[in-house]
Amino acid sequence: MMDKSIKIQRTQSILKELIPEALSTLEDEMLRGVCVIDVECSRGKYDAIVYLDGSVYDEAEKRYILSHLDRVQRHIQTHCMQAEGWFRCPHFRFRFDDSLERQNKMDTLFARVAEELAKGKKSDD
C-alpha cells in the first residue's frame, strides 16, 4: 500500500516540473508566466488537479488563463508523456490556489496589528 503513495508522490513531483516546462513552450505570453504551485494526482493517476498561483491576476485574467489552459491541455499532456516516456498522462484540471494570497493578506494584517500595538505602547509610556 505504501508503495502506491510513493509512486503517486513521484508522479506529482515530476508533473510539478514538467507542466511549467510545457507552459514555457507556448506562444501565449500570459500562459508562459503562470506559476504552478502544486499538483495533486488521483489514486489511479487518471486525473490531476494543477494548482496555480493566482495572486498576480485579476478575475478576468484568471478566467482567460483557465479557459486557454484547457485548450492547450493536449499539448501539455504530450510534453509530459514524451519527456517521461509515459503511455498515458493524467487529465489536468487547473485551479487557482488563493491560499498564498490569503497568507499574504494575513501577514499584512498581523503586521498592521503589531504596528498598532506598538503605537499603543508608546502612548502609554
Virtual torsion, Cα 94, 30, 89, 5, nearest 10 deg: -50
- pLDDT at residue number 101: 65
What's the whole-model pTM score?
0.76
Rounded Cα–Cα distance for residues 125 and 123 (Å): 5
Q: Are strands 36-41 and 91-97 parallel, antiparallel or unpaired?
A: unpaired
Does residue 87 contact residue 81 with C-beta atoms inside 8 Å?
Answer: yes
How would you write the pLDDT of the chain (125 residues) with one tens digit per residue? 445 688 899 999 999 999 999 999 999 999 999 999 999 998 777 999 999 999 889 999 999 999 999 999 999 999 999 999 999 999 999 999 877 666 777 777 888 888 888 888 776 66
Q: Could you give all domains of the chain from N- to C-terminal order, each with its CATH number? A: 6-98 (3.30.300.20)
- pLDDT at residue number 89: 94
